[in-house]
Structure 1
Amino acid sequence: MHVVPDPAAAVAPAIAFDDFMKVDVRVGTIVAADPFPQARKPAYRLTIDFGPTIGRKRSSAQITEHYTPDDLIGRQVAAVVNFPPRQIGPFMSEVLTLGFPDADGKVVLVTPTVGVPDGGRLF
């Protein structure tokens, strides 16, 4: 996760369904989670397995308030997989892991409530 938007911000302008379909949101399983001490804000470096078609991708995620690295291993998460990679300090983040702010603005991950195949696309 790169930017935490203001939860009180106005609703974004309407878009066409075709615009929504351009954003490729997939589910994957976290296979590695490591502290990221070089990040400006507390974060983890994640490796997420999106299945055989997409493979494993890396992400920087500011999720240290609610999760430990051990809590994250094996957890399925949603991520945008078709943004260009982004340099976060010495780390190249390849996907945007998705979450919502809690009442204090801390990130809560978007996860399926039932296990689904890695690589499944949000619709």
Structure 2
Amino acid sequence: MSHPAPASAKPDITYETFSEIELRTADVIGAEYFRGKPNLILLSVDLGYEQTQMIVGKGLPDLYEPADIIGRQVIWMANLKPKKIMGGMSKGMIVAVGDNRVDGLVVPERRADPGARVQ
């Protein structure tokens, strides 16, 4: 059974464009509300070859308390250009499911070494 493309479907891209996205496994080693705001979480992750952080909003705080995320393994977009958010630097992005809010995290079926390439 096929479903029609959503109205917000993006245009097709080439394999070369897609191959520029660097997805890696990351272990969440820290999480806390960013500057005490319950709608933003500062995640610290271990990519095996470096530790970095990002600021997450858009529904993740509605699904998870910071303590519930620590120890989880997630898929991380490692080569996203850093962005300043409310005075803090966000240096990556976790892959999640949802349109305008986070409905869940995309996670490996089996635990992998931190920093393993996702293909």
Higher CA-based Rg? 2
**SS of 1:42's equivalent?**
coil
- Unmatched tracts of structure 2, length 5 or more: 1-5
What RMSD, in angstroms, separates the aligned Cα atoms of the two structures?
2.0
For structure 1, which runs of at least 5 residues remain unmatched after alignment? 1-7
In structure 1, the partner of 2:34 is 36
**TM score, norm. by length of structure 1:** 0.81
Rounded to whole Å, the distance in 1 between the matches of 2:66 and 2:36 is 16
1:32 counterpart letter in structure 2: G
Query: What number of residue pairs does the alignment pair up?
Result: 112
The aligned residue for residue 105 of structure 1 is 101
Cα pair 1:38 1:89 within 8 Å, conserved: no
Aligned residues: percent identity? Answer: 26
The correspondence of residues 5-16 of structure 1 with structure 2, limited to 5 A, is 8-16=6-14
Q: Are the equivalent residues in 1 in contact too, given 2:96–2:102 (CA < 8 A)?
A: no
- Name the amino acid aligned to 2:107: T
| Counterpart residue identity of residue 58, structure 1 | Q
Cα drift, residue 112 of structure 1:
1.0
Change (3 A) 1:114 1:42: same
TM-score by length of 2: 0.84
Q: Which amino acid aligns with 2:10?
A: A
